[in-house]
Amino acid sequence: MRPAKHKFTLLKQVMDIIPAYLVPKLAKKHGVDKRSRTYSPWSHVVSMIFAHLSHALSLNDICDTLRNHEGALATLRKASPPSRNGLSHANKVRTSEMAKELFYETRNHLTGNFPNFGRFDTSFKIPRRIKRVINIVDSTTIQLFANCMNWAKHRRRKAAAKCHMLLDARTFLPRFAIVKSAGSHDAVKGRILCNQLQDGEFVIFDKAYVDFKHLFELMSRGIIWVTRAKTNMSYKVVRKQGKKNGNVIRDVEIKLTGVKSKKDYPQSFRLIAADVLRDGKMVRMEFITDNFDFAPSTICELYKARWDIELFFKQLKQTLKLSDFLGYSENAVQWQIWMALLTYVILRFIAYMSKWRGTFARLFTAIRGVMWSRLDLYGLLKCCGTAPGRQRMCMQPQQLYLPLLVN
């Protein structure tokens, strides 16, 4: 089976997912259009998304490829190929706030028009009895060059940026993100991320984000938090919450006794100790939460499911172009990271519309190989899916006919 022909290239069909009015509106809002002469803001966005989809090696790779396909590029709402200096200057000078807002506006447009987008193509295992919104807070470090990027130095010989993420567990789509140098503390950025949460929602995060003053604020706002207990946490047991059951070793209500911690969190909360399977081994962990209603096994399942966010970061860092960067300035790095997040959402939307059941990496390679071909996008993905299994013939003994054995 071959995919049907299309009058436009595959790249144009991908880029048409971004609403036509968005980029001109945001360029005008952020003043980018006034600094654009021959290289339009839309052409800039196309170039950066193409860099991620093609895994371009350098600025010259992007510019030369787009120039060789200048005719096909013009069909993408009159986009034009950049020069090397033009693309480098655009990444350095044009504010990355435009790229950030473009990501949010596109995501809101897709989730608003397609309410089920992201709900059926994720591997996140949520306990069925929980019907509330579940959020995951985590971060990933993106290595940079210490000798070129002084703004991102956080060790003597190392430089890195950090992407702090608030992820919707049901859709596996980013709700809010912060891109800064890795020198910033997780707990500080976690407070900003959690400002987006509403009353009754769940939030799950690692113990690097534990700040008892912030946890008390979340509890006061009606937000249910689940995290791991730090090893040096001082507390006293108020009462036993439940009995030992299965892998659950301990379930108690506790109150902090530290001089500063009991002032930051004056009320009691719950501590659960359980044996959890991790990397094929049983590991004993202690979880803390302000929720006293759910079973301890449910709290353990929620935190265990949080580890699936590593799959999200793996898809982002290993599939898209985040291993090396096209510019050294903070603005250029942020442009590339925000365009990576935008490309991720677009690819996830394509997977949703085509009912793709393969891996994210397989979807990426299927599109990357034929970007300039005039093929139907969704017809191509149907042909690139998993090959159907062969039908086996069931032969029964009474159906055999052996002429040499007949009398």
Ordered structural domains, the chain, with CATH: 10-99+342-383 (no CATH), 124-307 (3.90.350.10)
Q: Which of 262, 286, 268 is nearest to 213 (CA)?
A: 262
**What pLDDT sits at residue 180?**
77
> pLDDT per residue over 167-201, tens digit each?
888 888 888 888 777 667 778 888 888 888 999 89
Tokens of 261: 């911690």
Task: Give kind and range of the element (H or E) at residue 273.
Answer: strand 269-278
The average pLDDT across 67-89 equals 94
174 forms beta bridges with 167
Q: Is residue 400's pLDDT more than 90?
A: no
The average pLDDT across 256-281 equals 89
211 three-state secondary structure: coil
Q: Is residue 88's pLDDT more than 90?
A: yes
φ, ψ of residue 155 to 5 degrees: the values are -135, 175
CB 285 within 8 A of CB 228: yes
**Three-state secondary structure readout of 221-244:** CCCEEEEECCCCCCEEEEEECCCC
- In order of 172, 190, 260, 299, 332, the CA distances from 176 in angstroms are 12, 11, 30, 24, 20
CB 385 within 8 A of CB 357: yes
For the four alpha carbons of 208, 212, 215 and 221, in that order, the dihedral sign comes to negative
Q: Is residue 76's pLDDT more than 60?
A: yes
Residue 224 CA to residue 203 CA, distance in Å, equals 6
CB 30 within 8 A of CB 97: yes
Q: Is residue 245's pLDDT more than 80?
A: no
Characterize the bridge pairing of strands 134-144 and 202-205. parallel
Task: State the residue for tokens 């690139």.
Answer: 384
Residue 48 CA to residue 87 CA, distance in Å, equals 9
